[in-house]
Amino acid sequence: MDKLVKVVVLDDNKVVTSSIRKYFLSSANIEIVEVFSNGKPGLDYLINNSSSYDMIVLDIILPSIDGIRILEELNNHHIYKKVIILSSYKDDYTIQRVKDLGASFFMLKPFSLESLEKRIVDISSSAPIKIKMMGDSVELEVSSILHELGIPSHLRGYQYIRDGVMLMYENEANNTLVTKDVYPEIATRYDTTSSRVERAIRHAIEISWIRGDLRLMEDLFGNSIDFERSKPTNAEFLSTIADRLKINKRIFLR
């Protein structure tokens, strides 16, 4: 990519915006020109400084003015920029609405900064404005989620979780049982036992809950955790991630 892509970020999570700023600080190809945690000043900047940026990274939920209203106002002012939507809000109506308003990409939280960087590069070099499906490789997307959840890749449980999620993702009938189907299949692949697979996955989840950010967990697992940081079961953990991938496949618009 030869051209420097100038990006404005609007997200009310200051941990997210701080991480994005820091990550792209040394980038030769991507510059974060402004960051806003409130929709109103963010929209004012976007309208009054449209020549100063190329792309917008936009959360749906913002104080004062939400992301959909911002897209509507930009259209009203005939400002057409490539937009990456960041959100844990994933109903079909919202996805369709941001598509209709010209968003280029919808990225579900949690996400990795490496994935965001790749999407910025891909979208900046693409001609049409069109929402794409996140992730050219589902396995890479699984890996990205596990890294974001703080699970070290050297753990046996990390690989077992990856394989288990893929088994559940690939079963379109949604009738895969963790104890009867997933554990035995993984045990066969790695020449071990189902009980060892179960323990390794449980250990990896425990590591994740010690190292992970509670807000990140809530973004992904929602009601599977509470204020006491109770961990989901192995089945809940695997099925939640598999369901997230299926949602990506279904709602990232063609």
Query: Do 186 and 240 have their domain in common?
Result: yes
Q: Are 232 and 225 in contact (CB under 8 A)?
A: yes
Residue 245: which CATH number?
1.10.10.10
Q: What is the pLDDT of residues 35-60, one digit of tens each?
A: 999 999 999 999 999 999 999 999 99
Is residue 200 within a helix (H) or strand (E), and if so which, with residue range? helix 194-211
Is residue 92 within a helix (H) or strand (E), and if so which, with residue range? helix 92-100
Q: Are 107 and 81 in contact (CB under 8 A)?
A: no
Q: Are 217 and 110 in contact (CB under 8 A)?
A: no
Of 105, 132, 159, the domain-final residue = 132
What is the domain extent for residue 85? Answer: 5-132
Of residues 180 and 152, more confidence is placed in 180
User: In what order do the strands lie in the sheet containing 30-36?
Assistant: 30-36, 5-10, 55-59, 82-87, 105-108
Query: Do 73 and 147 have their domain in common?
Result: no
State the virtual CA torsion across 7, 13, 15, 20 in degrees, nearest 10. -10
Residue 17: which CATH number?
3.40.50.2300
Write down the pLDDT at residue 214.
64
Confidence of residue 129 (pLDDT cuts 50, 70, 90): very low
Query: Do 93 and 185 have their domain in common?
Result: no
The radius of gyration of the chain's CA atoms, rounded to the nearest angstrom, is 19
Q: What is the pLDDT of residues 172-226, one digit of tens each?
A: 656 668 888 899 999 998 889 999 999 999 999 988 888 766 666 776 776 555 4
Query: Do 124 and 185 have their domain in common?
Result: no
Of 106, 132, 158, the domain-final residue = 132
Of 98, 132, 166, the domain-final residue = 132
Write down the pLDDT at residue 131.
38
Query: Do 78 and 156 have their domain in common?
Result: no
pLDDT at 163 over 80: yes
Query: Do 93 and 151 have their domain in common?
Result: no
Q: Give, rounded to a whole angstrom, the gap between the first and last alpha carbons of the chain.
A: 25
Query: Do 103 and 123 have their domain in common?
Result: yes
* CA distance linking residue 182 with residue 179, whole number of Å: 6
